[in-house]
Amino acid sequence: MAAPRAREARGHRDHRRVPSEEEALEKWDWDRAETRRLFEDAFFRDEDYIRQGSEDCHKFWAFFERLQRFQSLQTSRKEEKDPRHPKHRIPALADLPHTYDPRYRINLSVLGPDMRDTGRGSRLPPKRVSEFRRALLHYLDFGQKQAFGRLAKLQRERAALPIAQYGDCILQTLKQHQVVVVAGDTGCGKSTQVPQYLLAAGFSHVACTQPRRIACISLAKRVGFESLSQYGSQVGYQIRFESTRSAATKIVFLTVGLLLRQIQREPSLPQYKVLIVDEVHERQLHSDFLLGVLQRLLPTRPDLKVVLMSATINIALFSSYFGNAPVVQVPGRLFPITVIYQPQEAEQTASKSEKLDPRPFLRVLEAIDNKYAAEERGDLLVFLSGMAEIGAVLEAAQTYASRTQRWVVLPLHSALSVADQDKVFDVAPPGVRKCILSTNIAETSVTIEGIRFVVDSGKVKEMSYDPQAKLQRLQEFWISQASAEQRKGRAGRTGPGVCYRLYAESDYDAFAPYPVPEIRRVALDALVLQMKSMSVGDPRTFPFIEPPPPASLETAIQYLRDQGALDASEALTPIGCLLAQLPVDVVIGKMLILGSMFSLAEPVLTIAAALSVQSPFTRSAQSSLECAAARRPLESDQGDPFTLFNVFNAWVQVKAERSRNSRKWCRRRGVEEHRLYEMANLRRQFKELLEDHGLLAGAQEATPGDSYSRLQQRLERRALHQLKRQHEEGAGRRRKVLRLQEEADDGSSDEDRAGPAARRADDSVDIQDVKFKLRHNLEQLQAAASSAQALTREQLLLLKLVLARGLYPQLAVPDPFNSGRKDSDQIFHTQAKQGAVLHPTSVFASSPEVLHTEEPPATGAGGSRDDKDKMSSKHQLLAFVSLLETNKLYLVNCVRVPALQSLLLFSRSLDTNGDCSRLVADGWLELQLVDSEGAVRLLGAALRLRARWESALDRQLSHQAWQQQRQRRQRLEEDEEEAAPISRTEVAALSRELLQFMATKVPCSLRRLTGLEAQNLYVGPQTVTATPSLPGLFGSSTLSPHPTKGGYSVTDFLTYNCLSSDTDLYSDCLRTFWTCPRCDLHLPLTPLERVAHESACAAGLDGGPGAEEAAPEQPQKPSALQRPYRCDACHRDFLFTPTEALRHRRQHM
Amino acid sequence: MASEAERRPLGVFECQLCGLTAPYSYVGQKPPNTQSVVLLEESYVMKDPFSPDRDRFLVLGAQCSVCGRLVCVGPECSLFYSKRFCLPCVRENLGAFPAEIRQDLEKRKAPPSMRSSGRACPGT
C-alpha cells in the first residue's frame, strides 16, 4: 500500500483507512475536505492543468458532484453487449470498441500520479482513482465543448453581420485605391469587423481613430475577443493615460487627438500603414481637422491607406473631399419601427417654469403598460436634452415605477460614474422593463441591447460658442433629422420597435438635415494653436472639409496673440510652442509655465489638473447640509481653485492612511471620487510634460534607504498587481439582474445611486484604488500634499498671482451695489458681458462678503464722485476659468485678486491721464487714485516688475528651448552658447518684490466704464508735434505719440496722457515742489518728470553709493535715455538723460 | 518569453465542412505548456482565447480517420469515438458504430455554412 515515507508524513490520516479496503470503499465520502485534498495533491499540482485552490478546481468539484448524482441515477444501466460485427473493411472502422462507453467519446487523456509513478498517489484506492479520473476527463471535455461552442457562436455571429458580405469587397477596393469610404448604419458591424478584415488580410501597423476614449477601450477589447487574441497583444488601445500597445500590436485604437499629436511629432506618420478614421460623420472638431491633414499628407505617402467610416449621412461630402473616393455602402440591420408623433400641447408656456414637464413622458410609460403585456420583453430608451431634464423625469418616473412595480428607471449621462453608467446594461427582472433616461450619449456612443421603445424629446443641449464674448453657452436646440433617425433606429436593433416623437411631423420636416459640425460651434483657440505648431500654414486658408466661420478664426488668433502665444506676425512664440504641446487650455498651460518658474510647480500641477476636469462636487450634495458641513473645512475663501486644491490634498492624505476608506470619505463630502482619480492622472501627465520640457527637474525616484522597506514596497506592489490581475480575470462583467427600486421616492438621491455601485464593489476590491496605487507614487503625492499644507502665506499669494496671470483677461468686476444685495443676487460684469452670477458651487456664492469693500470711503479729493465710486484699498476682481451660460450666465471657478495691482500687472492696455491719477485698464475698467504721487510711484513699480517678470520668463523659455534643441541634436560641442537659466536668487528677488507690490495699500475707486464713456475715452491723435520736455519716461523706452489714442506710448501696453478729460488738459504741465527721497533733489516737477527722475535715480543708485555725484563725469554707455539737451542758462549742448538734465539745471539755480 | 513565440499562430485552421476558421498554434498530441494532458488524436490546437491562463488550450479539429478531411470538433461536423470521424463518413458507415452513436446522430442536424457569398464591389 502506501509508501513508508508517505505514511510517516500523514500517519494519522492513514490510520483511518487502515482497517480494510472494502470498509474504506463503503465509507468513502467524496464530500470530505480531506479526501478531496488527497486527490488535489495528486492531480492538481502547480504544474498540472488544474491547480489546487484555483477557480477551476472549485468548478471541477461542483461538476463532480453533479456527475455523481447523474451517474447514481444511471447505475442500473444494463451492460448491453453489441453483437460481434464482422471486421469492417475500412481499417479506421475496423478496430472500434464495440462495447460503448462514454469515455471513448473523449479525445483526451489525463496523466495521473499512478502513471507518473511518484508514489504520492499510490495510496489512493485504484477504484477511486479511476472514478476521479473519469470525472476529470468529462470535466475537461465539457470545458473543451463549452469553449468551442463559444468560438463557433462568435464566428456565426460575425458571419451574420451585414458587413460580413462586404469584407472582401472592402479589401479589394482598398487594394486599388488609397482612400475608401465605408458607409453603414449603426449595427452593421463596421467598427468591429473592418479592423479584423484588415488583420486577417495580413495588414499590420493599423491605427483606428475614435472620437471618444471609452470607445477605444471597448473596441480594443471587443476586437481582441473576436479576433481571438483577447489575451494576446495584437490588438491594443492608446488613450491619454493608458496604453496596451506593445511591439506585437498590429492594430491600435486611439483617439483622434492622440493621432494628431503623433502627426505633430512625425508629420509623415511613418509608424502606420493603414489608418481607419471612424465616425467621420460626427464631424468632431479634431476629426474634421484630421481629414484636412490627411488630405494634404496622402500625396506624400502613397503607400498609406485610409478607410473612412461613416454612418450613411452625407457620404458624398467625404468621398468628394478625397477625390471621389469609392464608397462601399453597407445596409444596416434594422427591424421595422413604428413612428408615433405626439406633439406636446403648449401647456407649460403659461408658467415660465425652469423644470421640464415630465407628464408627456409618463404618458408614454402608461401607454406601454396598457398596450403591451408585461411578459413581452422590451425596454424603453428616452432621449432628453440634459442632466436637469433627466433629473426631472427621473423623479416623476420613479414615483410611477414604485406604484406600478413594472419599471426600473435609470439615468445615463456622461457625468455619472462608470459603475453607474454600467447599470444600464444590466437586465430587468421578468415582468419589469428598464426605462433609461439618457442624453444623446445613447445616440451613437453607447449601444444598449434589448431596446424596443424609444421616446425622443427632439431636443439636445449643446455647447455653442459666441466668439465675440468668448462665451460658452449650453443651449437647448432642436435636433437634426439625422439625429432623429439615429434615435429612432435604437428601437429596432433586436426586433420591431416603436418610436414616440414628442413633436409634430411638421417639426421634423423643419429640422436641419444634419447636425452643425463642431467646428462651427466651438472656440478654435486650441485648434489654431495646434495648426500653428504643426506648421500647416495660415489657418484661414487651410482646406477644411467645411471651413469654420471666419469670425471664430479671427477671435481665436486674436486671443492667442493676447495670451502671448502668437506674436504680431502670428508666429508661435516660445511660450506658444510650449502651450501647443500641453494638451490643455491655453490658460491652464500658462499657469503651469508660470508656476514652474516660481518653484510652485507642485501646487500649480494640482490646481491645473483640478481646473481641467469636471467639477468633482456632485449636484445633489449641493442641497445636503451634511455634505456642505463636511466640506466646509476644505473650502478656501481665496477662491474655488484653492478649495479644489484642498480637496485633492486631503483626499491624497486619506488614501495614504491605509486605514481609511477614500470612497466613503468622498461620498460623505459629496465628491465624485472618479474626478479625483482623473485629476491624479492629469496631474501626473502635466508633471511629465513639464519634466520633458525641462521646466521641472525630473524627480529622483524616492527609494527608501534600507533594503527592508524596499522589499516591503516591492511586495506591496506585487500584491497590488495580483489584485488587479484577479480583478481583470473576473472582469468579464456579468450582466446583473436589476432590483426594483424599493425606496423609489428617494431614488434620485446620490447616496442611493452610489449605493448599489458601492455594494457591488465592496464585495471585491476597490479596483480604482488598486489602479491608482499602481499608477502613482503615493508617497510622492503625499509629500506634495503635505508640502501644500506647509505653504507659507507668501507662497500662497504668489500662487494666486500665477493663477491670476494665467487667467487674465478673464476678469469680472463686482457690481458696486452688491453689498446691499442678497447672497444669491450678487452680480458681476466682464468686459463683454454684464450681469453674470456666481456658480452655486463657488465658495463665493456662500460667502460673498469677502468680495465687498467694507472700508468706509476714504476722505480726500473727489467730492464730486458718485457714492458708488468708493475709495478703498480693498477693491477686488474675480479671475475666472470659464463663463458658462445656461439659464443664467455663470462664472465658473473664481479666484479673488486685488483689483488695482492686478490690473497694473496684467493689463494689455493701460491708459493714463496727465498726472496718472486716472487709469483705464483694457478700455473697460477705470481706476481713480486720490494721491497722484502714489499713483505714479505704483505705476513705475508695475512697469519695472512687468519688465523683469517678462524677461525672466523669456529667459526661462529660451533656456528650455535650447535644452530641447540640444536633446534633439545630441551634439554638445557645436551648439551655440547656452542660454543661461534664470537664477534662483533672481527669481526670489522678483517674487519678493511682486509680493511687496501686491501688498501695497492704495485707496482707489474702481468702476466699469459705460459704453458711451468707453467710446469717448481718448483724446485722439494730436497735431501738436511738441514731445514732452522729458523724453524717456519710465525707464529706457522711447516716447512716441500714440497714433490713435493720442498721448504717448510708453511701452507696448502703457499709453500716457491719452485719456480725454477737462482737467487732464493741464495736468501734464502742473508742477509741484517735490523732494526725491533718494537724492534729495527738490524741484517743481510735473508727474511725468517726477517718475522719470525716480526711475533714473533708482537706476543710478544701483551703480553703488556715491554714484550720484560721480555719474555725470563717468564715461557712460550710450543710453537710450539720453537726448540732445541745450541749456538755456549756459547755452551749451549736451547729451543728457532726463536726470542729468535736471541736475544740470540745478547748477544754475 | 517563449510563450509569446509559442502562441504565434502557425496557420489558419479551416473546417472543410462548415468553413469555421481560427488561427492554430500547435498541431499534435501534446499541447504546449501542459504536462498532464495528452490528446488521443493529432489535433489542431489554439490557446484557449476565452481564458487568461496561457496554458489553457482549445482543440479546434482534426482529420477524419476515414476520409482525411480536416474537420472541426463541432457536433454538426464530426464526432470522436476512439478516433475522429466526420459526420458524412459516420452516416455512410452507420453500421460500424454502436447504437448509442447512431441514436445520437439522429438528433443532429446538418452544419450551417459560414461561408459568405460576398457582394459586388462599387465600380472600380
Confidence of residue A876 (pLDDT cuts 50, 70, 90): very high
Task: State the SS3 of A972-1021.
Answer: CCCCCCCCCCCCHHHHHHHHHHHHHHHHCCCCEEEEECCHHHHHCCECCC
From A92's Cα to the closest Cα of chain B, the distance in A is: 6
Q: Which chain A residues are Cβ-neighbours of B22 within 8 angstroms?
A: 151, 155, 228
Tens of pLDDT, residues A126-180: 888 888 888 999 999 999 999 999 999 998 888 888 899 999 999 999 999 999 9
In a domain, B78, yes or no: yes
Residue B41, in any domain of the structure: yes
CA distance B121 to chain A (A): 5
- SS3 of residue A458 by DSSP: coil
A975-999: average pLDDT: 79
Inter-chain contact B55–A49, Cβ cutoff 8 Å?
yes
Cβ-Cβ contacts under 8 Å, B74 against chain A = 148, 152
Region A374-381: mean pLDDT is 91
Residue with cell string 458651487: A841
Q: Which domain holds residue B30?
A: 2-107
**Would you tell me the crossing angle of helices A673-692 and A767-775 to the nearest 10 degrees?**
10
The whole-number pLDDT of residue A1148 equals 72
For the segment A678-701, the average pLDDT, to the nearest whole number, is 77
The mean pLDDT of A557-579, rounded to a whole number, is 86
pLDDT of residue A467: 66
Closest CA to A561 of A748, A317, A809: A809
* Band of residue A626 on the pLDDT scale cut at 50, 70, 90: confident
- In this predicted structure, the answer to whether residue A661 has a pLDDT above a threshold of 90 is no
Q: Do A111 and B7 touch (CB under 8 A)?
A: no
Considering Cα of A205, then A208, then A209, then A214, what sign does the dihedral take? negative
Which of the four pLDDT bands, split at 50, 70 and 90, describes residue A659?
Answer: low
Q: Please tell me which residue, A1113 or A844, carries the higher pLDDT value.
A: A844
For residue A890, what are the β-bridge partners? A837, A884
**For the residues A1032-1048, what does the mean pLDDT come to?**
68
Going by pLDDT thresholds of 50, 70 and 90, the confidence category of residue A1075 is confident
Q: pLDDT tens, A223-257?
A: 888 887 655 678 889 877 677 888 788 999 999 99
CB contact under 8 A, A228 and B116: no
- The pLDDT assigned to A743 comes to 40
Is residue A167 within 8 Å of residue A158, measured between CB atoms? no
Q: What angle do CA A300, A302, A306 make, to 5 degrees?
A: 105
Supply the pLDDT for residue A616. Answer: 87
In degrees, rounded to 5, the angle at the alpha carbon of residue A438 between the alpha carbons of residues A434 and A439 is 170
Q: What is the pLDDT of residues A582-624, one digit of tens each?
A: 777 788 888 888 888 888 889 999 999 998 888 888 766 666 7
Of A177, A1103, A957, nearest to B123 by C-alpha is A177
Least confident range from A285-294, A629-638, A1033-1042: namely: A1033-1042
Residue bearing the bigger pLDDT, A839 or A1064: A839
Nearest to A386 by CA among A887, A44, A927: A887
pLDDT at A1121 (0 to 100): 55
What's residue A967's pLDDT? 61
Which pLDDT does position B56 carry in this prediction?
A: 87
Q: Of A111-115, A159-163, A820-824, A918-922, which range is least confident?
A: A111-115
Q: In angstroms, rounded to a whole number, what is the distance separating the alpha carbons of residues A40 and A46?
A: 10
**Do A97 and B82 lie within an 8 Å CB cutoff?**
yes
Residue A730 CA, chain-centre distance (Å), reads 28
What residues in B contact A133, CB-CB < 8 Å? none
Closest residue to B49, CB basis, from A43, A92, A228: A228
Provide the shortest C-alpha distance from residue B105 to chain A (in Å): 13
Check whether A1030 has a pLDDT greater than 60: no
Chain A hits for B77, Cβ within 8 Å? none
Contact across the interface for B112 and A169, Cβ inside 8 Å: no
Residues B40, A326: C-beta atoms closer than 8 Å: no
Interface predicted TM-score (ipTM) of this complex, two decimals: 0.92
Position A233 scores a pLDDT of: 73
Mean pLDDT of A1027-1035: 48
Residue B115 maps to a domain = no
Q: Which residues pair with A637 in a beta bridge?
A: none
pLDDT at res. A590: 83
Tell me the average pLDDT across A1084-1097.
73
**Residues forming a β-bridge with A379:** A451
Size of interface A-B (CB pairs under 8 A): 156
Q: Residues B52-57: contacts with CB within 8 Å, 24+ apart?
A: B52/A231, B52/A725, B52/A728, B52/A729, B54/A231, B54/B3, B54/B7, B55/A49, B57/B26, B57/B31, B57/B32, B57/B33
Q: Which of B1, B6, B50, B72 to mutate to test the interface with A (most CBs of A within 10 A)?
A: B50
Q: Is A978 exposed, middle or buried (0-12, 13-18, 19+ CB in 10 A)?
A: exposed
* Residue found by looking up cell 480726500 in the block: A860
| Å between B50 CA and nearest CA of chain A | 7
Chain B residue numbers touching A173 (CB-CB < 8 A)? 121-122, 124
Band (A117; pLDDT cuts 50, 70, 90): low
Contact A857, A872 (CB under 8 A): yes
E strand or H helix at A579, and its extent? helix A574-581
A635 vs A13: CA distance, rounded Å: 66
pLDDT score for A1057? 81
Nearest CA in chain B to A172: B121
Cβ contacts of A705 within 8 Å, gap of 6 or more: none
> HSE of A723 in the Cβ direction (CA atoms, 13 Å)?
17
Domain presence at residue B66? yes
Put simply, the answer to whether B82 touches A96 (Cβ < 8 Å) is: yes
On whether the CB atoms of residues A1008 and A925 are closer than 8 A, the answer is yes
Condensed to tens digits (0 to 9), the pLDDT of residues A36-58 reads 888 888 888 887 888 888 888 88
Query: Using an 8 Å Cβ cutoff, are A271 and A301 in contact?
Result: no
- pLDDT classification of A1149: cutoffs 50, 70, 90: low
CA angle A325, A329, A332 (to 5 degrees): 150
Q: What is the mean pLDDT of chain A?
A: 80
Across the strands, what pairs with A1112? none
How many structural domains compose chain B?
Answer: 1
Mean pLDDT of A513-522: 88
The alpha carbon of residue A27 and the mean position of all alpha carbons in its chain are separated, in whole angstroms, by 66
Cβ(A1087)–Cβ(A931) under 8 Å?
Answer: no
Residues of B with CB below 8 A from A172's CB?
121, 124
- Tell me which of A326 and A846 has the higher pLDDT: A326
pLDDT at A759: 40
User: CB–CB of A48 and B41 under 8 A?
Assistant: no
Lowest-pLDDT choice from A265-274, A415-424, A508-517, A859-868: A859-868
* Contact assignment for B49 to A104 by CB distance below 8 Å: no
pLDDT bucket at A539, cuts 50 / 70 / 90 = very high
3-state secondary structure of A295: helix
CA distance to A635, A641, A660, A789, per residue, from A784 (Å): 19, 16, 19, 9
Q: Do B40 and A107 touch (CB under 8 A)?
A: yes
E strands, A211-293, are 235-238, 251-255, 274-277
Gap between the Cα atoms of A904 and A998, Å rounded: 10
* Banded model confidence at residue A350, pLDDT cuts 50, 70, 90: very low
Helix, strand or coil, per DSSP, at residue A652: helix
A804 CB contacts (<8 Å, ≥6 apart)? Answer: A879, A895, A897, A902, A906
**DSSP assignment string, A84-133:** PPPPPSSHHHHT--SS--GGGG--EEE--HHHHT-SSSTTS-HHHHHHHH
Residue B123: inside a domain, yes or no? no
Measure the CA–CA gap between A801 and A1072, rounded to whole angstroms: 36
The full 3-state SS of chain B, as one line of letters, equals: CHHHHHHCCCEEEECCCCCCEEEECEEECCCCCCCCEEECCCEEEEECCCCCCCCCEEEEEEECCCCCCEEECCCCCEEECCCEEEHHHHHHCHHHCCHHHHHHHHHCCCCCCCCCCCCCCCCC
Predicted confidence (pLDDT) at residue A1028 exceeds the cutoff of 80: no
Task: Specify if B13 maps to a domain.
Answer: yes
Of B51, B72, B82, the CB nearest to A104: B82
**What's the pLDDT score for residue A309?**
95
Measured distance CA(A18)–CA(A15) in Å, rounded: 5
Asked if the model's pLDDT at residue A183 lies above 90, the reply is yes
Q: H or E element: which one contains A472?
A: strand A471-478
Residues of A in contact with B97 (CB under 8 A): 96
**Model pLDDT, residue A1104:** 41
Q: What is the residue-level pLDDT of chain B in tens, covering all 124 positions? A: 434 434 567 888 999 999 898 889 899 999 887 778 899 999 999 988 888 777 889 999 999 999 999 999 999 999 999 999 999 999 999 888 888 888 888 877 655 555 555 666 765 4
Distance CA A98, CA B81 (A): 11
Give the per-residue pLDDT at A71. Answer: 77
For residue range A211-224, what is the model confidence (pLDDT) as tens digits? 887 778 878 888 88
Distance CA A361, CA A748 (A): 17
State residue A237 phi and psi, 5-degree precision: -135, 160
A10-19, A424-433, A1067-1076: which has the highest mean pLDDT?
A: A424-433
Residue of B nearest to A140 (CA): B37
What pLDDT score was predicted for residue A639? 92
User: What's the pLDDT band for A360 if we cut at 50, 70, 90?
Assistant: very high
CA distance A30 to A38: 11
